[in-house]
Amino acid sequence: MKKYILFSTILTVISILCISFYRPNHSLKTDSESGIQFTTISFNEALELAKKEKKNIFLDAYASWCGPCKMLKRNVFPRKEVGDFFNTNFINMAIDMEQGEGPQLARKYNVQAYPTLLFINSKGEVVGTAVGYHQAEELIAVGKKYLK
């Protein structure tokens, strides 16, 4: 009986720790207006806009089932400092690589893992890539490397 109680207690503690780890930290989030504003125009329209505004495109290539993609969307993209940097310096796009124009772009840019964060110039050429989850400060540092 003592073993059962000890085992149950350990499982409960582990469950609480896991839930705490995966729950978003709401104190770090800001309202969605403060974070990255992703455009809903087509990729070709974004290339034209990038040319006109003399900016690179930041493309979040994601998949709907991807855990790290969801974490970026929930914990990093809404942050004010991330939005301030990316909204000022890039044309921002988030495209599901399994729907719409996503599969064609995934082939064109050889997207093999999610999330893949692409920095693309107005000619459609990749100038930088980052793969995987990044904290806010890391994402901004990556973006600074690929400013036009």
Nearest to 36 by CA among 80, 101, 2: 80
The pLDDT assigned to 34 comes to 86
Instruction: Give the containing element (helix H, strand E) for 69.
Output: helix 67-71
- Kindly report, residue by residue over 51-64, the tens digit of the pLDDT: 999 999 999 999 99
* Across 93-111, average pLDDT: 97
Domains and CATH numbers, the chain: 32-145 (3.40.30.10)
State how far the Cα of 139 lies from the Cα of 56, in Å rounded to an integer. Answer: 15
The pLDDT assigned to 21 comes to 42
Map tokens 């000890």 to a residue.
6
**Which of helix, strand or coil describes residue 84?**
helix
* 86 pLDDT more than 50: yes
**Amino acid identity at 11:** L
Map tokens 């310096």 to a residue.
89
* pTM exceeds 0.75: yes
* 99 pLDDT more than 60: yes
Burial of 31 by CB count in 10 Å (0-12 exposed, 13-18 middle, 19+ buried)? exposed
Structure tokens at 121: 């110039």
